[in-house]
Structure 1
Amino acid sequence: MLERAFERYLFACRWLLAPFYAALTVALAVLLIKLLQELGHFAMHAWEAGESQTVLGVLTMVDLTFTASLLIIVIFSGYENFVSKLDLSEHKDWPEWMGTIDFTGLKLKLISSIVAISAIQLLKSFMDIKSYSDRDLAWLVGIHMIFVVSGILMALTDRISAGHHEK
């Protein structure tokens, strides 16, 4: 009886994660504010901006969009995997991936998004190469490669683990 009560308590503690996901929705709103600031700045300087400044502005907005999409994936998948199932499947805009991403899929989507965001940051740095020292660029490339290698290793580990479980 004591064990069962303790297990119910532990199971109920999953709801302590809900405020974390709520905080991520606030972070999503902050990213929207930043996107609107960047869009305003981008639009105001569109006539005088050169090609590289235009590409940098677009890449900044793409970067913010990827980050916001990553937050949505983490919020929905994390909430469904760790707190409670969302019962909105009857909604006409229900994404197909909802309810199908497990923790392994979430990890892979997370690292893939981080690699994409890192690649955009690296591309932005190369577009404005005069503003960076060789050392800074080397660090950016090195960090990006760590993300890439980490993603590959994570995917291989999951594939090996899945193959091992099938046997």
Structure 2
Amino acid sequence: TNVQKLARREVEFIPRRRSDLHAAVGFIGSREYESLVAALDFHFGADIPLFVVSAALRSDVPIKNGTQFVALPLTLFSFPLRYDLEAAFPAAKQQPSFYALGIDAYRLANQFERLIAGVSIPATTGNLKLGRNGSILRIPAWGPTHEQFTDRAPAFDR
């Protein structure tokens, strides 16, 4: 390369770990997730915590140990309601977030007094509470991954 010609010697790149990187956050898809994990591994950062959206884990890409991701509780945890919903509405398997939003809207209409009182309501899209400006705030659920078992959004949410 030009650099090698100028330096008149072979130039090598040696990856190093940055000492100021303590975590990585990615609002990315599965292809970018795979590249990010490979880059962290290459730069000796395999143990750096990684936080992503559930879309990053929606394929057959191997999941980095310790990855945390945000997902709808309806898709993350086993709810009897989810199976009833899928039986009644087969399209719910492909678009669970749409149906989860409808379920939560119905539930919130019946729990308005609790919202006004400042109570956080567990729901299928996350914990919901009333914000200062009157809007509904959603606190999403985090799904951890670890070596032997991976809590990831089920296949119908891919």
TM-score (norm 2): 0.23
The structure carrying a bigger strand percent of its residues is 2
The structure carrying a bigger helix percent of its residues is 1
TM-score (norm 1): 0.22
